[in-house]
Amino acid sequence: VVGLCFLGTSVLALRPGAKSSGAQRDPSPHQVRWVTVDSSVKLEVLDWGGSGPPLVLLACYLSTHVYDEFAPKLTDQFHVYGITRRGIGASDKPATGYSVQQSANDLFEAFNSLKLQQALLVGHSCAGQVLTMFAAQHADRLRGLVYLDGATDPTLTADVGSPMPDLATLPRPISEHRERNWHFPEAVDQEQLDPVIRKAITVDARMKPDYARVRVPVLAIYQAQRPFEEVAAGYAIRNDQERAALRQEYAATRALYTRWQQDLRAGAPTARIVELTGANLFMFLSNEADVLREIRAFAAT
């Protein structure tokens, strides 16, 4: 029903498939730069240029090449950068340093190297944890935060109001990519991620967000479910038990998102919350125009 990177569910079907041969193509109009953090760790920085204040893009367990097609559409309003986290893509891959605090430290050093002040920080999925900690510690460096399905709480993964069903009881989707009308940028399609590093970023680094310490404006965009019968039409439901299990997962997912949004509002009462019906985890690809519109409107305030 949804892709939750730390639950290890449907997002797995959306990760790029690494290709074993062929030259990697990267037609996106960016300059590749490098910054050194934590004394010796080199991070890849993508600089798309542009006019206006800085906007910095972070991703979860993919490089910021995942924004290769999205980022250039913001350069008329911002100077757009993407910073690829350690362990991912072309950035260095040390054995340690994958805690949320270290990720925030890396980001702070990258901001210093790039001489970034008053940036709009945009983070996708589990990068949201880094946004929250960075804002709590370095609010003076930010204009605001934009969470792209990232204002979540990875410590609350089930049973927050409605229990998740046993995955074995769920019906099979008719086609894994039946309704996908988007694609990953070419450079991301080539990526391979060490499963140990992926676990360190998405599972081992789980921590409860402390939104009360965030003192900058917040925009949180969430994916939202389509009506249940539309969702059910994408599955080969064989009996009443499978339909009931799918409905249970649907309700549990809604309860989880409701709780996440309640917790965000409790800590950051002025946060703007937007739900995009039918979007998925990679909403800046599946619903690009909607996300661009919301970021522009938020920046204007």
pLDDT digits 0-9 by tens, 124-152: 999 999 999 999 999 999 999 999 999 99
- On the question of pLDDT at 8 being above 60, the answer is no
pLDDT at 14: 41
Q: Which residue has the higher pLDDT, 177 or 59?
A: 59
114 versus 25: the higher-pLDDT residue is 114
Task: Give the pLDDT mean for 142-168.
Answer: 86
Flag whether pLDDT at 297 surpasses 90: yes
Q: Average of pLDDT values for 240-269?
A: 94
Binning pLDDT at 50, 70 and 90, where does residue 157 land? Answer: low
Name the more confident of 247 and 11: 247
Predicted confidence band of residue 13 (pLDDT cuts 50, 70, 90): very low
pLDDT of residue 189: 67
Per-residue model confidence (pLDDT) at position 100? 96
Question: By C-alpha distance, which of 157, 79, 72 is closest to 114?
Answer: 79
For the cut 80, the answer to whether the pLDDT of residue 199 exceeds it is: yes
pLDDT in tens, 63-113: 999 999 999 999 999 999 999 999 999 999 999 999 999 999 999 999 999
Percent of the chain clearing pLDDT 70 (strictly above): 88
Whether the per-residue pLDDT at 20 is higher than 70: the answer is no
The mean predicted confidence, pLDDT, of the chain is 88
